[in-house]
Structure 1
Amino acid sequence: MRENSLCNVIRSGNTAVNAWISTDSSYSAEVLANTGFDSVTIDAQHGMFGPDTVVKLLQAVSASPATPMVRPTSVNLAEIGWLLDAGAYGIIAPSVDSPELARELVDACFYPPLGRRSFGPSRGLLYGGSDYATEANHTIVPWAMIESGDAVEQMDAIMSTPGLYGVYLGPNDLALDLGFKAGGDIAGPVADIAHRIVERAHRHGLAAGLFCSGAEEATKWADAGFDLVTPGNDVSMLRSAATQRIAAIRDPAKTLTATTGGY
């Protein structure tokens, strides 16, 4: 089976850099995937596209060295199984607020006896290789998103779930759930929680990832020990590059710090 190169990066002690796709352009996804990102996550929860487009985006990412991952709409056995059948090598599942949901995530990602995934790999077999059925349980990586006060309170129980590969902080939803404003850099109580998450994840032998507002913030959290950082999504990168180029033409002496956002 084709190896999961993302795991190799993290296993080596380096910080993996993850792209985040929220638009429906397979060409844009292909371009991003070939720029050097270690993985590319297709956002089926908040992305501006439907299920049929997910397959096209996975096909585009598959033409690159980057590991294809997907964020599903929820922890749902059938949906996650379908995404893996379509060729996803990792699942970053939203709103894993309890150890029970973490167990459901693992069940959805793995074939028996490790889980409850139904057999029918389809494109997963095409992308992964002829031994997909026997090797998938050793290759697929489930990430549980920590993005609520309940999840923070139960993080140790969630992280104790057998088969879980990593946890992924969703800072904006967590901020909203705690009564703070979403968007911008991770700060205040959410930043304190981020430090706790990476420490606890490593103690449990798990990888830790998070979504960042941009490259500068991603560098900060990589230095703090996170194993995977997402420096914004495709829309924020496009907006940032466009505003900087416009500013450079209209006023070369002025430096703009583009407003970035994401999920």
Structure 2
Amino acid sequence: MRKNTLKEKIDQKQKVFGTWLMTNSQDNAEILGHTGVDFIMIDAEHGSMDLESAGRMVSVIRGTQATPLLRVAGNEKSLIKKGLDTGASGVMIPMVNTEEEAKDAVSYCKYPPVGVRGMGAGRAVLFGAAAEEYEDYYAQANEEVLVIVQIEHYEAVENIAEILSVPNIDIAFVGPYDLSTSMGLPGQVNHPDVIKNFQKVITACEKFNVTPGIMTWTDGIEQHLEMGFKFLLGGMDGAILYNGVKQLVTEFNGFTK
């Protein structure tokens, strides 16, 4: 199993940035992988790809400088198991709101004796074709695979200390829009009460040696870095493509209409 360079950066307290891959496009995966991002988050929760396509994207991204990560559709053993079998270097698990849910998430990500992840000949071990890498992956996966829990509901913030007390969580990732919506403040991501909850997560991360992460945007990067977030995820391939062409169309129309 190759070294997880993203995990090394995170363990060294470095700040890292990545982007979302939402479309069912291996070409977009390859293009984004060469932009200089630290990681690419393949979105198998809201994105258009199935796990077969996601696995191929993982393989493409592994040929670039970026680290492939995968967001699964839920905190379920089968989804996490199959997600990790793609060979992704980490998984993001949505809506982890309690200590028990956090324990389940970690357990599903780890091989025995730490967890209950099942051993199988998936893409992560080249479908069992390479015996040495096959054994190597099992030996190292518990240390190398990143576990990312999403903190995107006010209940999760209320339980943040209990959640992050669970061993083997690497990143607590704040979803600002879902969190603000759960607070009755939909889309008000800079509301003082929402910001207070961001700070609660950051403080708990510092206490339990977990990296704080957040969904960011063009005008939010500086703010989020100054707040103390170290794992920033921003931009979506579909939106980037749309906005880039839309800008050209607007400029063209300005000269022709």
Q: What is the TM-score of this pair, normalised by structure 2? A: 0.90
Of residues 210, 216, 220 in structure 2, which corresponds to 1:217? 220
| Cα distance in 2 for residues equivalent to 1:220 and 1:136 | 34
Displacement after TM superposition at 1:175 (Å): 1.4
Equivalent in the alignment of 2:75: 75
Whole-angstrom CA distance in 2 between matches of 1:216 and 1:178? 23
Structure 1 residue 70, shift from structure 2 partner: 0.7
Larger deviation, residues 49-58 vs 116-125: 49-58
Distance in 2 between residues matched to 1:132 and 1:99, nearest whole Å: 28
Counterpart of 1:43 in structure 2: which amino acid?
D
What's the counterpart of residue 12 of structure 2?
A: 12
Sequence identity (%): 27
CA-atom RMSD, angstroms?
A: 2.0
**For structure 2, which runs of at least 5 residues remain unmatched after alignment?**
none
Q: How big is the shift at 1:8?
A: 2.0
- In structure 2, what is the Cα distance between the partners aligned to 1:193 and 1:243? 35
Which structure 1 residue ranges, 4+ long, deviate > 3 Å from structure 2?
A: 126-130, 184-188, 243-252
Whether 1:103 aligns to 2:103 is: yes
Report the equivalent of 2:177.
Answer: 172
Q: Which secondary structure does the structure 2 equivalent of 1:6 belong to?
A: helix
Change (3 A) 1:8 1:250: farther
Corresponding residue for residue 155 of structure 1: 160
CA offsets per residue over residues 93-132 of structure 1, 9 Å max, x none? 0000111110011001100111000001521123994411
**C-alpha distance in 2 between matches for 1:98 and 1:185:** 23
Structure 1 CA distance, aligned partners of 2:151 and 2:119? 29
Q: Deviations over 1:25-44 (max 9, x none)?
A: 11011111111111111111
Which residue is equivalent to 1:32? 32
Unpaired runs of at least 5, structure 1: 253-263
Matches of 1:153 and 1:69, distance apart in 2? 27
2:104 match: secondary structure: helix
3-state SS of paired residue (1:215): coil
Label 1:247 to 1:8 Cα distance change in 2 as closer, same or farther (>3 A). farther
Q: What is the number of residues matched between the two proteins?
A: 250
Please show how residues 1-263 of structure 1 align to structure 2 within 5 Å: 1-126=1-126, 129-130=133-134, 131-182=136-187, 186-212=190-216, 214-251=217-254
Q: Which deviates the most, 145-154 or 225-234?
A: 225-234
Q: Shift of the alpha carbon at 1:88?
A: 1.1
> Whole-Å Cα distance in 1 between the matches of residues 252 and 161 of structure 2?
51
- Give the deviation of 1:52 after TM superposition: 2.3
Q: Distance in 2 between matches of 1:129 and 1:32?
A: 27
After superposition, the C-alpha distances for 1:157-209 in whole angstroms (9 at most, x for unaligned) are 00100111110001111111111223x75443222211221121121100111
Please tell me the residue identity of whatever aligns with 2:178: D
Please give the alpha-carbon distance, in whole angstroms, between the structure 1 residues aligned to 2:165 and 2:236. Answer: 30
> Counterparts of 2:200 and 2:242 in 1: how far apart (Å)?
32
